[in-house]
A and B are shown apart, each in its own frame.
Chain A
């Protein structure tokens, strides 16, 4: 945003447990990476105890445009066979279904 007089924007990802994914929790303003990490720690890790924090400049993230949603995502609903639930999962296999 051109009228944003604050520092650069950084996206914050927090991992709460080793082996679990880093999850996006929000963003912070900071002049550089080190302070972005500190700000992320102070803003987003005040209550839960994370094991790792990632920050990345927001401008480095390339995102889909909302007007592309139809072409990108709508047809996904038609393909139930792509869901793991379609198959019988053998006993004893532990699957994290998203």
Chain B
């Protein structure tokens, strides 16, 4: 395989993992000042910042690989909807706390296993990002897991809402552990480990916790939405981008 093809695959790889974190981080940051209590408000903002931080690292690396004068900011603020590669789960809108927690929990389980696997990458940058992120992911997972348990096994109302959230968001979880041609190529070049085992690990972890939280465990074989990794998004992403990219597009040279 030529160097260029490998570089291109690494670029795509960095972009999709950056986008998951950028978009989910943005979604989570929307809870700033509206979380149920002050402490949770800070917790959600902290996690949002962790995700944005990880996103910056991936985007910087993508910019470096591309080597065409685009910076990480250009990649974040000047790409269009179809150029974003985040999983659909990350962009889902939640104005109910239970939905935000379920979305986060599904992602955190995936994030933890992914970063754990990527800590064994032979690419120095990917490995560095993963080693830093796996520690953060472990805390994020602990945070969302504790909330899943308390909402599921809490009051009748909290149980009802988290059960609805799990049911609604379930169809967006299949895409998280999908692997694509870039993953295959990077695996065959020995750059990243085999990620095909993530799905089973994810489902096992998620099932265990859902059961503990007295929630029904949906089948992994249900119909799953997919498309985010190819640039086909739900209408949510357009709204996020118009919000997130507004300032940069309106005042391209704005400094602060």
Contact = CB atoms under 8 A, between A and B. Distances in A.
Interface residues of A, number: 14
Given A31-B150, A43-B42, A46-B46, A38 B37 contact: no
Interface residues of B, number: 12
Contact of B43 (A7, A31, A34, A39): A39
A46 B43 CA distance: 10
A27 to B, nearest CB: 10
Contact of B146 (A6, A7, A35, A42): A35
Nearest to B149: A34
B244 interface: no
Given A7-B37, A29-B37, A31-B150, A38 B42 contact: no
A6 B143 contact: no
Contacts of A6: 37
Interface in A77-94: none
A42 B42 contact: yes
B150 A35 contact: yes
A34 B39 contact: no
A30 B39 contact: yes
A42 B142 CA distance: 13
B38 interface: yes
Contacts of B42: 39, 42-43, 46
Contacts, number: 28
Given A38-B142, A38-B143, A43 B39 contact: yes
Nearest to B49: A46
A42 B150 contact: no
B43 A38 contact: yes
Interface string B37-76: 1111011001000000000000000000000000000000
A14 interface: no
Contacts of A35: 146, 150
B146 A38 contact: yes
21 contacts: A6-B37, A29-B37, A29-B39, A30-B39, A31-B150, A34-B146, A35-B146, A35-B150, A38-B43, A38-B143, A38-B146, A39-B39, A39-B40, A39-B42, A39-B43, A41-B139, A42-B39, A42-B42, A42-B43, A43-B39, A43-B42
Given A29-B37, A31-B150, A34-B146, 12 more contacts: A7-B37, A28-B39, A29-B38, A30-B39, A35-B146, A35-B150, A38-B142, A39-B40, A39-B42, A42-B39, A42-B46, A46-B42
The 9 A-B residue pairs with the shortest CB-CB distance, nearest first, are A39-B39, A42-B43, A42-B42, A28-B39, A42-B46, A43-B42, A43-B39, A29-B37, A29-B39
